[in-house]
Structure formats: structure tokens, C-alpha cells
Amino acid sequence: MFKYIARNPFLILSLVLLLSACEPVKDRTIDKLDDIDAKPIYQKEIPKPISEENMQVEAVVGWLDSDLILYSAKPFGSELQQLMVFNLKSGKQEIFYQPIAPIVNVSISPSKDFVLVHTSSSAKKAAIHILTNDGTEEYTAVIASEELDYSWNPYEKGVLFLTSFFEDWSFTNYKIDTKQKSIVALDFPQPFAQWEERGRLMYLDWGKNDLGATAPLISMDIMSRKKETIMLDVLQFHKLKEGFMAIQVTSEKPNQAVYKFFDGSNKQMFSFTAPRSGSFSETAVPYFTFNEATHSFYTFVPDMDAKAGKFGEPYELIRVNYRTGDKMTLLKEAENAPITCSPEGSWCLYGHQQEKLIKMKDKKIYSLIETRKDE
């Protein structure tokens, strides 16, 4: 089964965008949302869903643009997956890329210009294929690896920070440059870093024997190795091109998570507080996604009446404008599951394989995949 990009539960990333520096910082609490009647309305299908008549859909990867959805599928009678493109408007399906080894992970760059395909025919090696957005292979590298993690550089197209993990969880960090067709090992202290600018990375600074849920957020220049502590007690962070988001949890209030949004100068723009679910480990947070074009942050918050510690408890899907601080409840009694929104924000992929679509205009949930009639 197609596997999404592996993330260490300690260090999933969170983010922020630009806002006027003269606007005062706002602190709000999630239980005062502008609620709407948003219980999910399930429909059998979108007008033209992905057909499984000739292949089994493995998983949906994400958006190549506002209409094109990238997914992996295995044709009936074949042992190998292939990447496909589905046009949401026309319903047309086309082959995007056919690897010669099993697909492990796929990642679309934030600019939508490149696609990384991680394949492997051996438990000890990883093949990294960088494709353009039409499926043309630009660069390939093979490295020793048990597991990979990577982050795209939004300031240099086709550049990535990549971490290769081994069986004992030791690791090697690399910089991949698609244009230069190079992969270079980096002397960098932690995995899971994200680009703050062209030659600078942000990361959570975990001690070797540190078993705590939070860590300091550090910024480090790759060349000079000069470090700067940005903030403490960070559970997760996520970096965008103009700012970042950090999720903090303090020992005084361990049942609350504070989502803080910062601009490109690391000045706080806005924050809100959400309850933490008892269903999760102390290091996990609900799924979330960003849409830079609409200045939107989407995430799930536990139902205020849900009993702590109950698995499968209902959530609310909310949208926060991190420039204005406006919040809206999009769905009630929703499942906490991966979500990725189209560039213009009218549709969102949703579900553990992103097999559903949420139409934001009417808050309806549609099935993206049409199963075979004999199933």
C-alpha cells in the first residue's frame, strides 16, 4: 500500500504567513468560533470521480494545480504502481509516471513545479526521483536508507533538505539540488529541518536523551553554523515562505495547545488555543494544512463535549485566516484525517487515503473514487 511521507511524531511541522507588523497580536480561544450549521452531508460521488474499472487506486497524493489531482494506482494484473493524473473538471485520467520499483512515498513541491518520488526495491536503499510537473524525470539519486524524510526549499525551486534514517535511527542529512543534479551530505545536528531562507534551516533541538514532548525551536545558518533560539516549549512547527506556525504546550497547561503564527520577521501576528484530545499521545496534534493563496489554516479540534481519552471522538474542522484572525467551523462531527486543499481553496482532499473531496462552497463531502461495479 502506498505510504505517505513518514514523519517523526515529535517533529511534524507547522507554519505562518505575512501580516501587517503594525497589527496587534490577537489571542483567542477555539470555543468562541463563529459556528455554522456544518454537519457533513455525504454524497455518493462527484460529477466525474476517478474510475477503478481498470486499476486499484492506492492513495491520493495531492494537487498539481487547481484541477489536476495526482494519485497512485496499480493496474489489474500488474505488480507495480504507477502515478496517475485525474482532471477534476473533465474526469480524464492519464499516466503521469511509471517507475520500475515499488513506490514508497510521493511529495509535491509547494510551487507545484516538481514531484519527488521515493522508490525502493531493497530495504537498505532508496531511489529518489525528481520529476517536473509533467512527469519528466529531471534527476535521480540512490542512497543507503531505511526511511526518508524531506522538506522542499520554497526559496530555491528543486532544492530539498533530506534525511536518511537507518535501522538504529542514526541518520545522515543531505541537500538535493535538482538544477545542479547533485546530492551533498550536510553536517547538520538534527533531522526534520525546514528551510527558513536559502542558506538557513529551522529545526527542533532534541537532546539525545530528552524524552519530553517539547523542544526549543532553533534557526541555523548552514555555512557559518551560527545558531539562534527562536522560542521554547515547541511541540511542532511548520514553515512557509513568509513566516511559520509553532504549536506550544506548557507544563502548566498540558491539556491545551497554543497555535502561534509569525510573520517573515518572526513577529507574532495571531494565536489561538485549542483543547488537546486524550486520544493522542503527548507529542501528537490533529491533522492540519495551509493554503497560502487564501491565507487559510485548516485543522481539527476536539468536540468540546467529547470525553477525554475516547478514541474516535468527534472533531470539528475549522478554518482560520491567519492574517485577520477570523475563524469558521466548516464541518461538525468530522473525523480527524489528512486534508489538503486546492490552490484556490474551493476543494479539499480529505480522508486517510485522501479518497474524499470537500466542496467548500456548500460544505458537502463527495467520494473521489468510483469503485468497480462488481465490488
Inside any domain, residue 181 = yes
- Say how far apart CA 245 and CA 292 lie, in whole Å: 13
Number of domains the chain is built from: 1
Q: Which one, of 158, 230, 148, 233, lies nearest residue 196 by Cα?
A: 230
- Say how far apart CA 209 and CA 80 lie, in whole Å: 41
Inside any domain, residue 271 = yes
Inside any domain, residue 19 = no
- Say how far apart CA 115 and CA 13 lie, in whole Å: 19
> What is the signed CA dihedral for 76, 77, 79, 81, rounded to 10 degrees?
-30
Global pTM? 0.84
pLDDT computed for residue 157 by the predictor: 95
Binning the chain into helix, strand and coil, the percentages to the nearest 5 are 0, 50, 50
Domain housing 227: 26-370
Q: Is 88:347 a contact under the CB 8 Å cutoff?
A: yes
Inside any domain, residue 270 = yes
Inside any domain, residue 10 = no
Q: Is 117:103 a contact under the CB 8 Å cutoff?
A: yes
Q: Is 143:128 a contact under the CB 8 Å cutoff?
A: yes
Count how many Cα atoms sit within 13 Å of the Cα of residue 69 in the half-sphere of its side chain: 32
pLDDT computed for residue 62 by the predictor: 98
- Say how far apart CA 182 and CA 177 lie, in whole Å: 5
Which domain CATH number covers 274? Answer: 2.130.10.10
CA torsion sign for 318, 19, 219, 239 is: positive
pLDDT computed for residue 293 by the predictor: 86
Angle value at C-alpha 48, between 46 and 49, nearest 5 degrees: 70
Residue with cell 484541477: 67
Inside any domain, residue 275 = yes
Inside any domain, residue 99 = yes
Question: How many other C-beta atoms can be found within 10 angstroms of the C-beta atom of residue 340?
Answer: 20
Alpha helices, DSSP H only, in the chain?
A: none
pLDDT computed for residue 127 by the predictor: 98
pLDDT in tens, the chain (375 residues): 444 333 343 333 333 333 333 333 344 444 434 444 444 444 445 668 998 988 999 999 999 999 999 999 999 999 889 999 999 999 999 999 999 999 999 999 999 999 999 999 998 999 999 999 999 999 999 999 999 999 999 999 999 999 999 999 999 999 999 999 999 999 999 999 999 999 999 999 998 766 678 999 999 999 999 999 999 999 999 999 989 999 999 888 888 999 999 999 999 999 999 998 755 556 688 999 999 888 999 999 987 654 444 444 689 999 999 989 999 999 999 999 999 999 999 999 999 999 999 999 989 999 999 887 665
pLDDT computed for residue 4 by the predictor: 37
Q: Is 70:96 a contact under the CB 8 Å cutoff?
A: yes
Inside any domain, residue 327 = yes
pLDDT computed for residue 282 by the predictor: 62
- Say how far apart CA 309 and CA 277 lie, in whole Å: 7
CA separation (Å) from 10 to 42, 214, 220, 282, 317? 34, 8, 19, 9, 23
- Beta strand 82-87 with 93-97: parallel, antiparallel or unpaired? antiparallel
- Say how far apart CA 236 and CA 129 lie, in whole Å: 28
